[in-house]
Structures are given as C-alpha cells and as structure tokens.
Amino acid sequence: MKFYILTLFPEMVEDGLNTSIIGRAVENGLIEIEAINIRDYTIDKHKKVDDYPYGGGAGMVMQAQPVYDTYMSIVERVGHKIPCVYLTPQGKTFNQKMAKEYSELDEVVLLCGHYEGIDERVLEEIVTDYVSIGDYVLTGGELPAMIMVDAISRLVPGVLHNDDSTSQESFSNNLLEYPQYTRPEEWNGKKVPEILLSGNHAKVDEWRHEQSVLRTKANRPDLLN
C-alpha cells in the first residue's frame, strides 16, 4: 500500500513514521510513504502558499493552486486519480472500521491543512473523503495523517508478524480488549487470575470474553448499542 502525504512539513511526517513497526514495514516494502511538500508546487515567486481570507477573519488560508498542482503531479505520475482524504475536524470521525476499509486500498492521498484551512474550491475538486481523528482542534493535519497511516498500516497483511493479533483487539466485534498478564505470576502482592494458568483454552476464552464485555460496559457503553 502506498501513502502520499501532501504537507507543508514533510520532515515532521517522515521523522514520525520511520521508527518501530511502521518503519520496519517501510524497510520491508510492505508499505510506502511519500511525503510531498506543497510549497514545492507554488508558482508564487516568493514561494507563498497562503493568503488572507476573503470576507475577513483571523489567520491565513492555504491557496488552491499549490494544493491542486501537488495532487495533480501524482495523478500525472501514476496515470489515474487516487482517493484523497482531507484531514479536518469537520470530517467523519476515524475509527477501526474505516482503518480496515482504507487498508484494502492500493494507494491513498492524505492532504494536511494548516492555518485556517484550505480554499474550498480545491477541496471540491480533489477531495473524496473528509476525516477527523476526534472532536478537538490541532494545529495541522500532520499528526492526524500519521495516526491514520499507523492505524491502517498495521492492518496491511504482513506488517504485524502475528496477523491474528488484530482479530482479538479492541474495537473488533465492538468490544474492548480483555486484560493481559505476563510473568511473574505474582507482582506487588497481586496474582495473575487463576484461570489463565489453568491451560483450559475454552475456559480462558470464556473468561476473556466476559472481561471484554465488562470493560466495554464500564468504559464504552456506546459501543454496545
């Protein structure tokens, strides 16, 4: 799977995604991440990419031309249009189901805004999906794009060595994950639940399911509806 990230801060995205599991997936060729600097595509002689909002108001708005030309440079290179996600608090809230759906694509463009947003006309022209990572406002779309890349990439076959580990985790089946324990059997006066030491797999599965339901009821009852 290939991610094209359109941003004014490519080094932020590159630095954030070159470590640990995602970094290894890139090295192994399972995913590809290309951060493209929108500023490289401005035709303004001072390399300007933003301007004052028509109608007044605070802040600056990213101009249509550099964003459009950045996107079109990819379209021209690959020979077809690619789904384009604009990261914005006004979008649909990202969740595990969306991560799964995106992980089935071969390529996706993630468009990161800054300042007070991007000229609406270019969004109408190129954006296919508006995605938010939650009900709070960040300074730009880079962290949201990195979060999407992480959540999507780990669902790409081969990225996690144990593909099975995503079938039991939180939000699969609309349940939160059960508690986990590892050695030692007793720590700080607390024992590992007896059932996990029993070797009875059916009983262990039953206990874990119960724990998942209890946790979900306590912490995220909305998931059960």
Site residues, ligand ADE (CB under 6 A): 87-89, 132-134, 136-138, 141, 144
Query: What is the smallest separation between the CB atom of 35 and ligand ADE, expressed in angstroms?
Result: 16
User: Would you mind telling me the total number of residues written for the chain in this entry?
Assistant: 225
> How many helices (H) and strands (E) are present in the chain, helices listed first?
7, 9
Query: What is the smallest separation between the CB atom of 143 and ligand ADE, expressed in angstroms?
Result: 8
Query: Torsion angle of alpha carbons 202, 207, 211, 214, nearest 10°?
Result: 110
Block residue for tokens 């709070």: 136
Complex with ligand ADE: residue 25 or 87, whichever CB lies closer: 87
Complex with ligand ADE: residue 12 or 175, whichever CB lies closer: 12
Query: What is the smallest separation between the CB atom of 87 and ligand ADE, expressed in angstroms?
Result: 4
Q: Cα(17)–Cα(14) distance, rounded to whole angstroms? A: 5
Query: What is the smallest separation between the CB atom of 25 and ligand ADE, expressed in angstroms?
Result: 23
Q: Cα(61)–Cα(119) distance, rounded to whole angstroms? A: 6
Complex with ligand ADE: residue 110 or 175, whichever CB lies closer: 110
**Backbone dihedral region of 55: left (phi > 0), alpha (psi from -120 to 50 degrees) or beta?**
left
51: CB partners within 8 A, 6+ apart: 60, 61, 63
Q: In this structure, how many other beta carbons lie within 10 angstroms of the beta carbon of residue 13?
A: 25
Query: What is the smallest separation between the CB atom of 84 and ligand ADE, expressed in angstroms?
Result: 14
Query: What is the smallest separation between the CB atom of 223 and ligand ADE, expressed in angstroms?
Result: 20
In a 13 Å sphere around the CA of 20, the CA atoms on its Cβ side amount to 7
137: CB partners within 8 A, 6+ apart: 89
